[in-house]
A and B are shown apart, each in its own frame.
Chain A
């Protein structure tokens, strides 16, 4: 029972992290039809920058802010300097993101070497919190509560807050309305007098910023090292394949399914864990190629 609850909680926190990474990926795709295969690189670079700033200033929150902002700027630069010049050429854009991810991975290896970095979050985030889940009762009747790492609870909360924030932003604000209109019909949005390129840049900034944020926050939960870029790129890919490319709700649902299945796979049949994730992806493709929340495209 304890294993089950712990696995469930671990799955939830992993899902929160996957959601943070994949929501940016899917947001960018939804509007710009740009499969940004350099999204994992943004995650890792955000993590490294966050680590450096955190060490330099001694404040972990500055690190989070720096990683997020730096990647948001990087995202705008990518959009303005690269992708804007090849709009509509989806395959070419994707190939360019592959090239960027290769170069970025190698340059990051040059700057930060192959070491594994561990963040130092503030003290109140380290340690464990007693969850109101009774595991057993001692002989004197006091309940033994389930301890759980505080930081992972923080991660879960961050995922929830960002998810809700993103939903409000897309569904309740004017810019969100423009984004939704752009997803449906880019040409029409352009024709109604809205500067599409500004909308594109904003979306890319949010998408990349979320990747950078996830890099610091997720890197703190686990660690950051070369190869993490590919890991989170794969996670994003599978999450959006299951959830539906272009849908933030789909990303949340996909992240939940993949995060839970990965942790349960790891806990109950360790050497075949990845197979479970894969089977889910195949099932999604077989029965709903556009993903759970995706819309079929002509």
Chain B
């Protein structure tokens, strides 16, 4: 807490722009070409899932990396939006209202965003590690509430058969369309975050992260900036949550368990929180490990390996994969790494 407040770092170092553009172009070409060469399994289970988890982690990275507030409630935001899709739209299991997609999706995204704004209101009353404690308590409370409550959340069993509607004669859950949908959401969120960090708001946000008291003295409304960051992150996580419920084909309390909430943090930390690309890098490693650890280690102990990987990153390389890459090449650090 004190460390984040006192050690001011350069917020936006001037970037080697040509390098960044080349890197983004290569990434864009690879991502667009990926489903053309990959099998359906790779397109859907690996590609789309990586993009969704990366987007949810990106929303955490926005708050933690640029805002200096480590929150664990992002999975709950995504899960709540997913639940709302199941409840407002069509699903099996509980009581679904059967609204058309163009009503259900905005409703779900708005509720998810409002939930994160509320979380923000509570979380910004505390600082540093307390934010983790509060948001973890909120995430766990939502999990137990969803499990206990049968009127709204249909308790333990949740909802099944949640799928996107056929819009424009396309089955959006077929591997390739779904992949491109997830890619569009991820790309929009990524560029949105990148853009946001260069706006006056984004710069003020980073300055608040570095020294909140000074910003307050200059006349900035610190709580408002922080809550705005929660709102943007809530929007991103909610949209990704809608995709996630379609990907899973249903939702139950297990989808918003503490385990999963922490995995979102793990992905962001492993990837690195200096740049919005970090969460996606982390997601690639995480999803590949999850799917292929089975081939070279005991698959049942996946959590041990991912936990150890997380520990090693926290202990040895606080900047995650991005930090490693930066050591190999030279990339401009934008967001501050975790202390």
User: Could you list which residues of chain A lie within 8 angstroms of chain B, going by C-beta atoms?
Assistant: 33, 35, 37, 88-92, 94-96, 98-100, 102-103, 105-107, 110, 230, 233-234, 237-238, 240-241, 245, 270-275, 277-278, 281-282, 285-286, 289
Contacts and interface: CB of A to CB of B under 8 A. Distances in A.
B339 A92 contact: yes
Interface stretch (B73-81, B96-104, B136-144, B198-206): B136-144
A274 B132 contact: no
Contacts of B128: 90-91
The 8 closest A-B pairs by CB, nearest first: A102-B307, A106-B303, A99-B311, A103-B307, A234-B140, A289-B125, A106-B304, A278-B141
A89 B3 contact: yes
9 contacts: A37-B136, A91-B3, A99-B310, A102-B262, A102-B310, A103-B311, A106-B301, A110-B304, A282-B122
Please classify the interface of chain B as helix (H, G, I), strand (E, B), loop, or mixed, using the class held by over half of its residues.
helix
A110 B338 CA distance: 32
B218 to A, nearest CB: 20
B150 interface: yes
Nearest to B138: A278
B1 interface: yes
Please classify the interface of chain A as helix (H, G, I), strand (E, B), loop, or mixed, using the class held by over half of its residues.
helix
Contacts of A245: 130, 133
A285 B134 CA distance: 9
Contact of A91 (B129, B141, B148): B129
B234 interface: no
Nearest to A34: B129
Contact of B300 (A88, A91, A110, A273): A110
Interface in B108-146: 122, 125-126, 128-130, 132-134, 136-138, 140-141, 144-145
Interface string B307-319: 1101100110010
Contact of A89 (B138, B148, B339): B339
Given A102-B262, A237-B137, 7 more contacts: A88-B3, A90-B128, A91-B1, A230-B140, A234-B137, A234-B258, A285-B134
B306 interface: yes
A237 B126 contact: no
B264 to A, nearest CB: 12
B149 interface: yes
Contacts of B295: none
B139 to A, nearest CB: 9
A270 B301 contact: no
Interface in B47-90: 70
Contact of A100 (B3, B126, B137, B311): B311
B265 interface: yes
Contacts of B303: 102-103, 105-106
Nearest to A110: B301
Given A99-B311, A106-B304, A110-B301, A274 B144 contact: yes
A267 to B, nearest CB: 13
Nearest to B308: A103
Most B CB atoms within 10 A — which of A35, A96, A99, A238? A99
B141 A271 contact: no
A272 B151 CA distance: 10
A233 B261 CA distance: 15
A99 B141 contact: no
Contacts of B259: 102, 230
Nearest to B298: A110
A107 B315 CA distance: 20
Contact of A289 (B126, B265, B318): B126
B145 A285 contact: no
Nearest to B269: A95
Given A105-B303, A281-B137, A271 B314 contact: no
Contacts of B130: 245
Nearest to A266: B148
B313 to A, nearest CB: 9
A98 B145 contact: no
Nearest to A273: B148
Contact of A285 (B1, B125, B311): B125
A84 to B, nearest CB: 13
A35 B150 CA distance: 34
A274 B148 CA distance: 8
Contacts of B141: 234, 238, 274, 277-278, 281
B68 to A, nearest CB: 9
A88 B4 CA distance: 12
Interface in B258-302: 258-259, 262, 265-266, 269, 300-302
B307 A106 contact: yes
Contact of B304 (A103, A275, A286): A103
A237 B133 contact: yes
B137 A241 contact: yes
A92 B314 contact: yes
A166 to B, nearest CB: 22
Nearest to A234: B140
A110 B303 CA distance: 11
B69 to A, nearest CB: 10
Most A CB atoms within 10 A — which of B140, B149, B150, B302? B140
Contacts of A234: 136-137, 140-141, 144, 258
Given A91-B339, A102-B303, A285-B126, A270 B137 contact: no
